[in-house]
Amino acid sequence: MAFLHRLPRWVLLVAVFVLLAVGMVGTGWVGAAGLLVLLAVLAWFAYLNWPVLDGSGRALRIAAMVLLAAFAAGHVIGRF
């Protein structure tokens, strides 16, 4: 966390958009890998913020993680 705090604010935002773009444009395992890395980052941030979240915040984070996992599985299967 200290490393991320020292980075400029735009670096994390650009990294998220790059991973999302790789996941959406990439095919097969390349797209799935981008989405799974993004899923891991999102899960880590959700884990860190879990104690202070209310029910709707927790549900939103779980829904986003399930959606990313479904898209990653779709890339592996070849449906997306």
Residue spans of the domains in the chain: they are 2-77
pLDDT digits (tens, 9 = 90+) for 15-73: 889 998 998 888 888 889 999 999 999 999 899 889 998 999 999 999 999 999 999 99
Tell me the pTM.
0.80
**CA–CA separation, 60 and 31 (whole Å):** 23
Which is more confidently placed, 35 or 7?
A: 35
- How many Cα atoms sit within 13 Å of 60 on the Cβ side? 8
Q: Report which DSSP code applies to 50.
A: G
Residue 19: both structure tokens together: 């991973």
pLDDT above 80 (res 77): yes
